[in-house]
Amino acid sequence: MFNWWVQVFAVTRFSLQTIPERKGQALSAVFGIAGVVAVLVGVLSIAQGVTRMVQNSGNAGSAIVLRSGADSEMMSGLSGAQAEIIGDAPGVGRTDNGPTASPELFVIINLPKRSTGTDANVPLRGVSPAAFDVRERLSIADGRMFGWGLNEIIVGAGAAREFAGLDLGGSLEVGGEQWPVVGIFEADGGIAEGEIWADAAVVQPAYRRGNSYQSVHARLDSPASFTEFKDALTTDPRLNVKVERTIDFYSDQSTLLRGIIIGLGSIVAGLMGLGAIFGALNTMYSAVSARTREIATLRALGFQSGPVLISVLFESLVLALVGGLVGGGLAYLAFDGFNAATINWQSFSQIAFAFDVNATLLRNGIVYAMLIGLVGGLFPAWRAARLPVATALREG
């Protein structure tokens, strides 16, 4: 057994040492696999970015209340009286200013994208003072807070970056009037960063909404209070509502988008991976052909077929590993933190987010590269191991 492993080491080392003599074919395989990994990681980093945005948008200790049957805030509707009942429900947190429950409006406005100039649906959210107690991660990054009762707006950092007309000091037409942009806010990368905020009390008359809202966002006493809060509202005969944790609500809202991205990314990566497998097959078959006499000589000297097979397969895996590392590195440099906006198919409004190339994606990309190398090197390795010595000497 020891002698067998000595043979494996010797043949594999010699195989790797001859790669520079076949650098053209080796580089072709490496960069083919690198391209596949870069595309796979790049596309899936979009889904990871959306996932991270969702995770930063809610938590187990906050809840959203919508009209029963509504799939999104835009399809929901609650009266002012119902919003007061929800704010007084058991389980809602309290501060010196009252319950941490914010009745909110959700309106869609059209703004041009900075990148393309085409119109996009951007959320304008009318909020109540408790909104800033409900969303603890939100803070003013530049400028100031809008004045309550005034026609002023603050803009999420993502929206300001992606859409024209939202610069600090500028103004936006709302309800036929120009509302100044007085502040830019951040929300730790959450979905709110893609929105425009104003006082709900001034948004209501601007859009002729009367005393009505789309939703109520509430911060609870604790995550354990959710059941008490939900049961109190869903059993109240004055209400006809659905209650969800915000983390679950935003996750459901992005399910379709993430499914589309992952599905398309997997199809593209699968097709490119198939091409890379054929590239690896060609490279390793060429390597075996170039080493025919060498392999035959080793076999004639008593080297077994197993070490020969392992040496060819190991070479293929090494090339694949290098390709995976190169592709992952390129994807990280090109995509990590890249800011973009896309449509949320549940609300038909734009969401702003950043691509997220994380360690899990890079690891999966390298694993995919190694699978390509394994499949691409397996048949050439089998051929090398089964090649008759006499035939190989004549071919060499």
- The pLDDT tens digits for 322-335 are 889 999 999 999 98
185 or 372, greater pLDDT: 185
| Contact present, 89 and 217 (Cβ < 8 Å) | no
- What separation in angstroms does the CA of 235 have from each of 172, 224, 238? 42, 18, 9
**Two tokens, residue 146:** 């809008």
- Mean pLDDT, all residues of the chain: 82
Alpha carbon 65 to chain centroid distance?
26
Same domain? 265 vs 385 = yes
* Domain that residue 315 falls in: 2-55+255-395
Please say whether the dihedral angle defined by the alpha carbons of residues 362, 368, 374 and 376, taken in this order, is positive or negative: negative
Class of residue 149 by CB neighbours under 10 A (exposed 0-12, middle 13-18, buried 19+): exposed
Give the mean pLDDT of 244-252: 88
Which pLDDT score is estimated for 294? 61
Residue 15, pLDDT > 80, answer no
Residue 60, domain member (yes or no): no
Same domain? 73 vs 45 = no
Which pLDDT score is estimated for 154? 96
Give the mean pLDDT of 309-322: 79
The closest of 198, 212, 179 to 83, measured between CA atoms, is 212
Residue 246, domain member (yes or no): no
Same domain? 91 vs 169 = yes
Same domain? 234 vs 287 = no
End-of-domain residue from the set 192, 212, 239: 239
End-of-domain residue from the set 205, 239, 273: 239
Instruction: Record the pTM.
Output: 0.78
Q: How confident is the model at residue 393 (pLDDT cuts 50, 70, 90)?
A: very low
Q: CA-to-CA distance for 131 and 108, rounded, in angstroms?
A: 19
Residue 62, domain member (yes or no): no
Give the mean pLDDT of 293-318: 67
Q: CA-to-CA distance for 173 and 196, rounded, in angstroms?
A: 12
Residue 245, domain member (yes or no): no
Same domain? 157 vs 261 = no
Q: CA-to-CA distance for 214 and 72, rounded, in angstroms?
A: 9
Give the mean pLDDT of 168-195: 90
Give the mean pLDDT of 18-44: 79
Lowest mean pLDDT among 82-86, 99-103, 168-172, 298-302: 298-302
Same domain? 160 vs 308 = no
pLDDT tens digits, one per residue of 106-116: 998 889 988 88
Q: CA-to-CA distance for 30 and 14, rounded, in angstroms?
A: 20
Same domain? 122 vs 27 = no
Residue 248, domain member (yes or no): no
End-of-domain residue from the set 209, 239, 269: 239
Residue 250, domain member (yes or no): no
Same domain? 263 vs 224 = no
Which pLDDT score is estimated for 2? 47
Residue 240, pLDDT > 90, answer yes
Residue 272, domain member (yes or no): yes
Same domain? 97 vs 188 = yes
Q: CA-to-CA distance for 222 and 295, rounded, in angstroms?
A: 70
Same domain? 75 vs 39 = no
Same domain? 48 vs 137 = no
DSSP code string of 113-165: BTTT--EEEEEEEEE-TTHHHH-TT-EEEEE-PPPTTSS-EEEEHHHHHHBTT
Which pLDDT score is estimated for 216? 95
Same domain? 260 vs 231 = no
Q: CA-to-CA distance for 177 and 52, rounded, in angstroms?
A: 36
Rg, the chain, Cα only: 30
Helices (H) and strands (E) in the chain, counts: 13, 16
For residues 246, 364, 330, 160, the Cα torsion angle rounded to the nearest 10 degrees is -10
Number of compact structural domains in the chain: 2
Residue 64, domain member (yes or no): no
Residue 292, pLDDT > 80, answer no
Q: How confident is the model at residue 60 (pLDDT cuts 50, 70, 90)?
A: confident
